[in-house]
Amino acid sequence: MEILGYILSVFIGISLGLIGGGGSILTVPVFVYLFHLEPTLATSYSLFIVGLTSLTGTVYQYSKGYVNVKAALSFGLTSVVTVFLVRKYLLPEIPDILLQVGAITVTKSTAIMVFFAALMLAASVSMILGHREKELIGGQTNLVKLLGYGVGIGLVTGLLGAGGGFLIIPALVLLVKIPIKKAIGTSLFIITINSLVGFAGDLGHVYIDWQFLFKILAITVLGVIIGSIFGRRISGDRLRSGFGWFVLTMGIYILSRELF
């Protein structure tokens, strides 16, 4: 199973390089089901992998002129603060057993994976229908919605260790009116900041196996380089749709495994 985990790590990087998100939502399931890590630890490791992998993609996209630094910093401010607060103060305070009624016990780990599966289902719909984003560009930028998106993305990143690219890209396209190609590069920059700040909030709370992390990182970085190169030649709509169906399948599998 670990061999499969290493193989899927390549695709995590490829997805980040191709569509500026999506791959990070596979990282936690790979760590939990294939490397047999506890879900809370898996979210911490995911933040490290996703953050540095996205940084590699950001550097490449920036060299091609596909990163809007000003938009990334203004949009990412609320999400960065939210991520840090969630990882540093909220997550450690959540009890291991959330609910116990008779023989039914809902643990923190189960809740995280169920929440993650629900997020994957929502993400898959967003990716499958992503081609509609271009049709909706227009109107005035709504600052309240933008700030709300930042907090929401921060909660997702902080609780689940996912970069939130599937939320960031539509927000950049619809609210900030950034072209889709530049939104992908800008999304990687925001994911980098959010993920690494979230991981910093974990230091001192969890045990870090640095050798394992850097091994996975080397694989995902290779993937993001491959994805960034091929992303310039492949239709973004086809990429999002195909990956969306894959994420939908994974979400259904995780949900059924955790509940039944």
Structure tokens at 34: 């294939």
Please report the pLDDT score of residue 168 as a whole number: 79
**H or E, element range at 244:** helix 236-259
Given a cut of 80, is residue 13 above it in pLDDT?
Answer: yes
Contact, 237 vs 130, CB < 8 A?
A: yes
| Residue 162: half-sphere exposure toward Cβ, Cα within 13 Å | 27
Instruction: State residue 138's pLDDT score.
Output: 44
Instruction: Please name the residues in contact with 173: beta carbons below 8 A apart, sequence gap of 6 or more.
Output: 133, 134, 136, 137, 179, 180, 183
What are residue 82's phi and psi, to 5 degrees?
Answer: -65, -45
Instruction: Reply yes or no on whether the pLDDT at 102 is more than 50.
Output: yes
- Band (pLDDT 50/70/90 cuts) for residue 57 is confident
Q: What is the dihedral of CA 222, 215, 5, 188, to 10 degrees?
A: -50
Report yes or no on whether pTM surpasses 0.85. no
The Cα–Cα gap between 122 and 110 comes to: 18
Residues 115-147 have pLDDT tens digits of 878 877 887 887 777 644 444 444 445 567 777
Residue pointed to by tokens 């619809």: 174
**54 vs 185: CA distance, rounded Å:** 9
- pLDDT single digits (tens) 220-255: 889 888 887 877 676 666 766 777 787 788 889 888
Is residue 75 within 8 Å of residue 81, measured between CB atoms?
A: no
DSSP string, 30-78: IIIIIS---HHHHHHHHHHHHHHHHHHHHHHHHHTT---HHHHHHHHHH
Q: Cα–Cα distance between 224 and 184 in angstroms, integer?
A: 13
CB pairs under 8 A, 24+ apart, for 112-115?
Answer: 112/39, 112/40, 112/43, 112/159, 112/160, 113/32, 113/39, 113/254, 113/258, 114/255, 114/258, 114/259, 115/159, 115/160
